[in-house]
Amino acid sequence: MPLPDLKKSKIVVAGASGFIGSNLVRYFLNQNYSVRGILRQRPPVVVDDRIEYVHADLATKEGCRLAVRDADYLFMCAAQTAGAAVMAADPLSQVTPNVLINTQLLQAAYEARIKKTVFISSSAAYPPTGITPVKEEQMFDGDPHEVYFSVGWMKRYAEILCKIYAQKVPNPMPVAVVRPSNIYGPFDKFDFKTSHVTAALLRRVVERHQPLEVWGDGSDIRDLIFVDDFIEGMMKVFHAPDPYVAVNLASGQGTTVRQILETLLEVDGYKDANIRYLKDKPRTIPARFVDTTLAEKKFGFKPAHSLKEGFKKTISWYRMNPYGGDRVRA
């Protein structure tokens, strides 16, 4: 298939006010591309007159058709996400809404003859592999970890749909599936009710919480990738000629929650924190190591930011936009 040309194209970012969507909109603006951002309830985060913002309910056929009308490329960043506490209390909260969004948006994109679609999956959908880095071909080797069982199977179902549209139907629609590890950076969710561990710890450090509470005992291991690096990797995959591909995008390095906190404290100069580990709070998977061989060898992707560099940029942004900010000039 021909390589995508975005200079004279209309690009749709579904979920344009979310974490990844906001960063992606800003990326496209910096490239002077024509971008349409799809919003539902939240107002636009990145404010610029060059952005075409459209309000649409992506859980409906009508909303999905409106989103992709007369467009060329689609980036599916729309998703209902949550942290460990919400997943533990209400596993279906991330299943039903996302199944509706993914199913109907892919169908609308196919009907609209979108030239290529990118779907953001998750490394949480993999079965447990302990300290062995998980490879792309292992996705269906077993159930996802019990904590991620519901959301993991939801992502797997969407990936199967992506493959069907890319390979199993007449006039197939090229689709790239990217499976990120734990993304962090500007525009992340910093609300403690919905935030993931890195954003929550960053906020507590910047706000100088005393005591500084950490859910779990600090031994859980994560693979962190800075959002700018993730987007660079995603665009490399997008521009490749493959009609269908699924690839991990991660740093390839494991970092414990304790190390995440220690790095944040060092970067922000918080020297007298009274750290309190809450071992009775909900936790997610104990360890996830992600194999990045395919991304590096096939697409030439390696993250550019160290953990310290990524944290410095994120903390600087957060101080200018406390609690994530409502509206940010591009």
- The Cα 189–Cα 24 span in angstroms is 16
All residues at 6 or more sequence positions from 97 whose CB lies less than 8 Å from its CB, including other chains:
59, 80
Full-model pTM = 0.93
Q: Of 101, 114, 105, which is closest to residue 71 (Cα–Cα)?
A: 114
Q: How far is CA 75 from CA 28, 238, 279, in A?
A: 11, 10, 38
Give residue 97's Cα distance to chain centre.
17
Q: Of 192, 228, 224, 222, which is closest to residue 207 (Cα–Cα)?
A: 192
Contact 186, 313 (CB under 8 A): yes
Q: Which residue is associated with the tokens 């940029």?
A: 313
Give residue 226's Cα distance to chain centre.
11
Per residue in 137-163, pLDDT (tens digit) is: 999 999 999 888 999 999 999 999 999
Contact 162, 177 (CB under 8 A): yes
Q: How far is CA 138 from CA 133, 192, 202, in A?
A: 10, 33, 32
Q: At what angle do helices 61-68 and 96-111 cross, to 10 degrees?
A: 50
Question: Which DSSP helix (H) or strand (E) runs through 299?
Answer: helix 293-299
For the chain, give every domain's residue range: 10-187+224-253+289-304+325-329
CATH class of 10-187+224-253+289-304+325-329: alpha beta
Q: Give 175's strand partners.
A: 117, 244
Per residue in 171-219, pLDDT (tens digit) is: 999 999 999 999 999 999 898 888 889 999 999 999 999 999 999 999 9
Q: Of 284, 278, 277, which is closest to residue 87 (Cα–Cα)?
A: 284
pLDDT (tens digit, 0 to 9) for every residue of the chain, 330 residues total? 666 778 889 999 999 999 999 999 999 999 999 999 999 888 899 999 999 999 999 999 999 999 999 999 999 999 876 555 556 666 777 789 999 999 999 999 999 999 999 999 999 999 999 889 999 999 999 999 988 899 999 999 999 999 999 999 999 999 999 999 999 999 998 988 888 899 999 999 999 999 999 999 999 999 999 999 999 999 999 999 999 999 999 999 999 999 999 999 999 999 999 999 998 887 777 888 999 999 999 999 999 999 999 999 999 999 998 765 555 544
